[in-house]
C-alpha cells in the first residue's frame, strides 16, 4: 500500500501524468475546433468549381458507373449554366496517393484543368499550373485523345518539359484520361460539337 502510494508520488508518474493531461487538453481543443472548422465535401466542390470554371450556377449530373474506365473513378460531374461540363476524376496511384483532377470542357475542348487533391502524395511540388495548361488545355475531345506521361496521342503537341515528379505526374495523367474517356463515352462535350 505504502509502495503504491509512493509510486504515485514519484517523478516518472508525475511526468507521465503531465504528458497525458497535455495530450487530453489538446485533444479536446482540437476536437472542438475540427468540428467548428470542418470543410464539408459540398464546400470543397464549390471551391473546385469556382476555380476551374466561371458560371452562375452548376447542376449535378448523375454518374453512370458502367461507363467509368477500369481502375478509375468519377467523383462528380456538373453542368454549368452555359452548357460547359466540369468533371472530377482520379485514376492510377502515383508516388503515394492517386491525384484527383478537375477538368472543365466547353464546346468539345478542355478549357481548364486543376489538381484538386493529391491524396497524401507529397512528391508533387514540381507539378505546376503551366504543366497542366501546356498538356491538357486546348485539347479537343475527339475519339483518339489520350494523354501519356510525355505527350498527347491523337492530337496536340508534345509538352516541352514534364515535371520531375514522374509517378505523381502519371497519376494526374491517368485521372485526366479517366475523365476524358467518360466524357467521350457519354458524349458530353460541353455544348456544341
CB of 64 to other proteins, least distance (A): 30
Give the span between the Cα atoms of 87 and 113, in whole angstroms.
10
For cell 484538386, name the residue.
Answer: 116
CB of 27 to other proteins, least distance (A): 9
CB of 15 to other proteins, least distance (A): 4
CB of 66 to other proteins, least distance (A): 33
Contact 104, 188 (CB under 8 A): no
DSSP string, 8-41: HHSHHHHHHHHHHHHHHHHHHHHHHHHHHT---H
Q: Which residue lies nearer to other proteins by CB, 112 or 139?
A: 112
Q: Which residue lies nearer to other proteins by CB, 59 or 129?
A: 129
Site for other proteins, rule CB under 8 A: 11, 14-16, 18-19, 22-23, 26, 29-30, 33-34, 37-39, 47, 122, 124-125
Contact 175, 72 (CB under 8 A): yes
Q: Which residue lies nearer to other proteins by CB, 159 or 188?
A: 159
Q: Which residue lies nearer to other proteins by CB, 2 or 38?
A: 38
Which H/E stretch holds residue 133? helix 129-135
Amino acid at each position: 500500500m505504502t509502495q503504491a502510494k509512493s509510486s504515485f508520488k514519484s517523478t516518472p508518474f508525475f511526468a507521465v501524468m503531465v504528458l497525458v493531461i497535455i495530450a487530453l487538453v489538446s485533444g479536446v481543443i482540437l476536437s472542438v475546433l475540427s468540428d467548428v472548422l470542418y470543410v464539408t465535401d459540398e464546400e470543397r466542390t464549390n471551391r473546385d468549381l469556382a476555380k476551374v470554371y466561371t458560371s452562375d450556377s452548376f447542376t449535378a449530373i448523375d454518374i453512370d458507373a458502367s461507363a467509368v474506365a477500369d481502375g478509375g473513378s468519377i467523383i462528380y460531374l456538373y453542368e454549368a449554366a452555359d452548357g460547359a461540363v466540369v468533371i472530377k476524376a482520379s485514376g492510377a496511384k502515383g508516388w503515394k496517393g492517386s491525384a484527383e483532377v478537375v477538368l472543365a470542357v466547353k464546346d468539345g475542348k478542355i478549357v481548364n484543368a486543376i489538381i484538386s487533391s493529391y491524396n497524401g502524395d507529397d512528391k508533387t511540388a514540381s507539378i505546376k499550373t503551366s504543366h497542366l495548361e501546356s498538356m491538357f488545355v486546348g485539347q479537343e475531345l475527339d475519339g483518339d485523345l489520350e494523354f501519356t506521361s510525355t505527350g498527347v496521342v491523337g492530337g496536340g503537341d508534345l509538352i516541352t518539359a514534364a515535371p520531375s515528379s514522374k509517378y505523381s505526374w502519371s497519376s494526374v495523367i491517368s485521372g485526366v484520361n479517366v475523365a476524358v474517356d467518360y466524357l467521350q463515352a457519354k458524349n458530353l462535350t460541353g455544348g456544341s460539337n
